[in-house]
Amino acid sequence: MDRRSLIRNAGIAGVLATGIAPAVHAQPAIRWRLASSFPKSLDTLYGGAEVFAARVKAMSGGRFEISTHAAGELMPAFGVVDGVQQGTVEVAHTAPYYFFGKNECFALGCAIPFGLNSRQMTAWMYEGNGLKLMRDFYAQYNIVNFPGGNTGAQMGGWYRKEIKTAADIKGLKFRVGGFAGKVIERMGGVPQNIPGGEIYQALEKGTIDAAEWIGPYDDLKLGFNKVAPYYYYPGWWEGGPELDIFINDKAFNSLSPENKAIVQSAASEAHLVMQSRYDARNPGALKQLVAAGTKLRPFSNDLMNEAFKQSMSLYEEIGTKNADWKKIYADYSRFRADQNLWFRFTEASFDRFMQSQKL
């Protein structure tokens, strides 16, 4: 009797009794490495990679493991895109706008000045054309992208002196993330692109005059309030910055449909968890900063209006030189207009009323 007939007629108990085991085709174990652009001390940012890796392992029953590595362990913070593109690592977790020097469109996958807020960015990605447009763009770099977190609207940074008008930006040596530096430069400032782990020393030594990072929770941990007294808001260049999980396209395409679904689901969970953590932890951290003497200041209307004007002019200029930007930004800006119309009547009105109650 052949093996198939034996199994069909005798059942599993009978097969085991004969000592003939059925053939088992176990999936081979998968081991990937993830390079983060962030230090482990920033648990909310670096933690996004950890959430992603933990969920992949859990959903695969341990058959698919991703080891996570902080900035500098496998490669520099700003080397992760090259690492994924070249296949040195399978995955990176980063803020895409760090790489606007390769192409300005990287910023559209993260945040641009006066862009989408976090909910709008998620909507554009998942229900608008964002994910398709950005995947088409990232394919040039051998990357398949997944939204992998959002900080929510950020603060405007730490300053050694007060910034009262747009004129005060002139000559300011300002550590500002990614693409926003282009606008600061147009306003007369001197942007500096420095990894998070190096900002404190630069601000303390006076190498820079001001620095922005994210918001109260991370800023408190990094101690910026000890070296700069003024804390401005809002971070008009980061209304809803998305972090991404970048996967080498060959590595991703080699996965089974089941494992591709696991990756997608794990990335979505990491995306949700990150902003939940920031929203939960920022209020208490802000209270601590103010209690320690931090001077909260809003940016003036003069400064905001000038920054907006320069931003819109910049986007128009880039569109005349960069076909990818022209295509993606056209869709992005239409989506932003519709979202702002809707939020004006709902979210914004509700928020203004609730905040006025001081509950």
Q: pLDDT confidence of 329, banded at 50, 70, 90?
A: very high
Pairing mode, strands 230-233 and 242-248: unpaired
What is the reported pLDDT for 26?
57
Give pLDDT, residue 177: 76
Right CATH number for 30-152+240-280 from 3.90.1150.10, 1.10.10.10, 3.40.190.170, 1.10.1750.10? Answer: 3.40.190.170
- Cα distance between residue 194 and residue 187, in whole Å: 20
Task: Could you please state the CATH topology (level 3) that the domain comprising 157-239+289-322 is classified under.
Answer: D-Maltodextrin-Binding Protein; domain 2 (3.40.190)
Quickly count: other Cβ atoms within 10 Å of residue 20's Cβ.
13
To the nearest 5 percent, what fractions of the chain are helix, strand and coil? 55, 15, 30
Boundaries of every domain in the chain: 30-152+240-280, 157-239+289-322
What pLDDT is recorded for position 27? 63
Question: Exposed, middle or buried: residue 4 (CB in 10 Å: 0-12, 13-18, 19+)?
Answer: exposed
Instruction: Determine which of 5-9, 222-226, 262-266, 274-278 has the lowest per-residue pLDDT on average.
Output: 5-9
Q: What pLDDT sits at residue 178?
A: 74
Closest CA to 37 of 220, 198, 256: 198
Could you tell me what percent of the chain has a pLDDT over 90? 89
Confidence of residue 28 (pLDDT cuts 50, 70, 90): confident
* pLDDT of the residue at 223: 95
The C-alpha atoms of residue 107 and residue 345 are separated, in whole angstroms, by: 28
Q: What is the pLDDT of residues 270-294, one digit of tens each?
A: 999 999 999 999 999 999 999 999 9
The per-residue pLDDT for range 37-77, each reduced to its tens digit, is 999 999 999 999 999 999 999 999 999 999 999 999 999 99
The pLDDT, as a whole number, for residue 140 is 98
Q: How many Å separate Cα 34 from the centre of its chain?
A: 15
Average pLDDT on 175-181 reads 87
- Give tens-digit pLDDT for 230-276: 999 999 999 999 999 999 999 999 999 999 999 999 999 999 999 99
pLDDT tens, position by position, 102-157: 999 999 999 999 999 999 999 999 999 999 999 999 999 999 999 999 999 999 99
Is the distance from CB of 69 to CB of 33 less than 8 angstroms? yes
pLDDT of residue 263: 98
Token pair belonging to 69: 């590595």
Confirm if 55 and 204 have CB atoms less than 8 A apart: no
Tell me which residue of 131, 177, 108 sits closest to 271, measured CA to CA.
131
Report the pLDDT value the prediction gives residue 15, as an integer from 0 to 100.
40
pLDDT for res 194 = 83
The pLDDT confidence band at residue 196, using thresholds 50, 70 and 90, is confident
How far are the Cα atoms of 148, 225, 286 from residue 283, in angstroms, in the given order? Answer: 23, 16, 5
Residue 19 identity: G
Please report the pLDDT score of residue 198 as a whole number: 87
User: Using 50, 70 and 90 to split pLDDT, how confident is the model at 95?
Assistant: very high
Q: What is the pLDDT of residue 310?
A: 98
DSSP assignment, residue 236? Answer: T
Query: 22-26, 42-46, 67-71, 354-358 — which is least confidently predicted?
Result: 22-26
Strand intervals (E) in the chain: 30-36, 64-69, 91-94, 143-150, 157-159, 173-175, 190-192, 210-211, 230-233, 242-248, 295-298
Instruction: Give the pair of three-digit tokens for residue 160.
Output: 């050694």
State the chain's mean pLDDT as an integer.
92
